[in-house]
Amino acid sequence: MAGERDEKSQSQSVKAQLALRELILEGALAPGERIAELAMVDRLGLSRTPLRAALIRLEQEGLLEEIPSGGYAVRAFSEADIFNSIEIRGTLEGLAARFAAERGVSTTRLAELKECVAALEEIVEAPDMSAEDFARYVPMNERFHALLVELADSAPLTREIERATSLPFASPSGFVEAQAALPESRRILLIAQEHHRLVVDAIQNREGARAEAIMREHARLAHRNLQLALRNGASAAKVPGAALIRRRG
Amino acid sequence: MAGERDEKSQSQSVKAQLALRELILEGALAPGERIAELAMVDRLGLSRTPLRAALIRLEQEGLLEEIPSGGYAVRAFSEADIFNSIEIRGTLEGLAARFAAERGVSTTRLAELKECVAALEEIVEAPDMSAEDFARYVPMNERFHALLVELADSAPLTREIERATSLPFASPSGFVEAQAALPESRRILLIAQEHHRLVVDAIQNREGARAEAIMREHARLAHRNLQLALRNGASAAKVPGAALIRRRG
DNA sequence: GATTAAGAAATTGTATACAAGATGTATCCG
DNA sequence: CGGATACATCTTGTATACAATTTCTTAATC
């Protein structure tokens, strides 16, 4: 039945969900056209039941849309949609930071966050960032954002942020890969790191409004990255879910 | 198959989703304990397939939680969860108002919003509000909030707000019914109406920060209502989804 | 009497069969 | 030659059957 031993060998539904999401993000499925269940069943090697469960979940997640006559299609996103999704994430992370600042956090958890910032600092201060440095940066950056959300200590907010960041281009590390190909990348990373430091400071000093404003502006770096990346061919391909972006929004 | 003629006779999945949500909100299912599929199938008169689809959707919606060993249970909410859910809604509606203000809206759509405010004004200015007045207020208030979200003209934001307001006590009209039983109700409604007027003004004048701040504060009225209602026996029962609220949060 | 183990019942996850509607094609008529 | 209609195929939505795991019960042992 279920059986979630270790990491592999998950339920068929989860397998279908992960596999489908990957297919969508790599652009194997054209936005707007119906996802044929039978064809997908053959492709993924499972039955229609878990596939349909995955389709429902991905629709709720926002990656798919219902077709009025039945079935699902990959959703297309305009540049404005992506801009707004990033702004939504920034707004929610700002709320989390404000909650943390206003309500106070335990010193141990704040210490964890500080350690995370220190680790990021170490990566970023390398004079020439290699590809491996970027590879180390991404998970640590994600850890920072996850810890920040934890500090808010609110299940509903955690859920909403998870949902908002499930769209690939709205995720905190969404554009870091694409960013690596840009000449401005180092400068942007240094600014991002400044934000990381400042928001910790604001939370420690219980400056709610400041913590909120910093996280909002922090998310807007992703927006700048998006614009740069989309106007830079080499980089645009590395944007996650690039195939879902529809020109003419 | 599907067939969504008029309002009734929807698909079995939708029927299951609506029926289940109603059962949950009226407290027919105890939070924390597993929802037995077979028993529910008998109760709702449909098969397990559409029921499971409904369970998945309601889990994504946040009303249910997955049980590790399989199946779903009704989720319990602490008072803090509800407070935070309201704050999340206010934050997102604030973002919508800011978008509308900063980006500008067409005069025709702004006129619609103004008409809505005028209609609310007419209801609220009655010296003694009857139960029917409250009944007229609720849908019109919901229309106001829906129009405001439309003004932001962003599909991702619309989706997020729909999700955030799907929790009954986070919805804009969630506490209005409970409010009717409170002595402070009239005063609170007048303040709410002031917010309605002011946010339209702010949007018209393209004052983004002001529009945002007003909607945030507007949502906080619901929080005050929650506190009053929960400490007032007669009123607490009318809070939607009261059965999901767990003391000691 | 409490605790553990074994077995039985129940419950979920998955696969498949079936039915109703949608889509596309070919043919017939104007 | 264009358009509409009827038909065939395909697709989804639903119901049900099956298998594996979980959970409850019962009994045996310490």
Decide if B159 and A62 are in contact by the 8 Å CB cutoff: yes
A41: pLDDT strictly greater than 50: yes
Nearest-angstrom CA–CA distance, B176 and B123: 14
pLDDT at B248: 59
- Looking at chain A, the whole-number percentage of residues with pLDDT higher than 70 is 95
Nearest-angstrom CA–CA distance, B246 and B74: 12
pLDDT at B78: 94
pLDDT at B9: 54
Token pair for B71: 């199946």
pLDDT at B225: 86
pLDDT at B230: 83
Residue nearest to nucleotide D21 (CA to C1'): A1
Residues B88-147: tens digit of each pLDDT: 999 999 999 999 999 999 999 999 999 999 999 999 988 778 888 888 999 999 999 999
* Chain C bases near protein Cβ (<7 Å): 10-17, 19-23
**DSSP structure class, residue B245:** B
For range A128-136, the mean pLDDT? 84
Nearest Cα to B243, choosing from B81, B4, B74, B39? Answer: B74
pLDDT at A9: 55
Nearest-angstrom CA–CA distance, B59 and A219: 28
Q: Which residues pair with A62 in a beta bridge?
A: none
pLDDT at A249: 43
Q: Compute the CA torsion angle A100, A104, A107, A113 (nearest 10 deg).
A: 10
Chain B contact set for A223 (CB, 8 A): none
Chain A contact set for B87 (CB, 8 A): 95
Mutate to test the interface with B, among A61, A66, A88, A223 (most CBs of B within 10 A): A88
pLDDT at A3: 33
Nearest-angstrom CA–CA distance, A238 and B248: 48
pLDDT at A16: 96
Residues A154-178: tens digit of each pLDDT: 999 999 999 999 988 899 988 887 7
For chain A, counts of helices (H) and of strands (E): 11, 4
Nearest Cα to B152, choosing from A95, A84, A78? Answer: A84
Decide if B88 and A157 are in contact by the 8 Å CB cutoff: yes
pLDDT at B186: 85
Ranges A114-128, A146-160, A227-241, B189-203: which has the least confidence = A227-241
- pTM listed for this prediction: 0.92
Give the containing element (helix H, strand E) for A73.
Answer: strand A72-74
3-state secondary structure B46-100: CCHHHHHHHHHHHHHHCCEEECCCCCEEECCECHHHHHHHHHHHHHHHHHHHHHH
pLDDT at B249: 41
Decide if A56 and B61 are in contact by the 8 Å CB cutoff: no
Q: Which regions in chain B score pLDDT beneath 70?
A: 1-9, 248-249
Nearest-angstrom CA–CA distance, B4 and A187: 54
Mean of per-residue pLDDT scores for chain A: 90
Q: Is A247 helix (H, G, I), strand (E, B) or coil?
A: coil
Q: Is B112 helix (H, G, I), strand (E, B) or coil?
A: helix
Mutate to test the interface with A, among B1, B159, B226 (most CBs of A within 10 A): B159
Nearest-angstrom CA–CA distance, A112 and B244: 34
A1: pLDDT strictly greater than 50: no
A89: pLDDT strictly greater than 80: yes
Residue pair A185/A81 in contact (Cβ under 8 Å)? The answer is no
**DSSP structure class, residue A169:** G
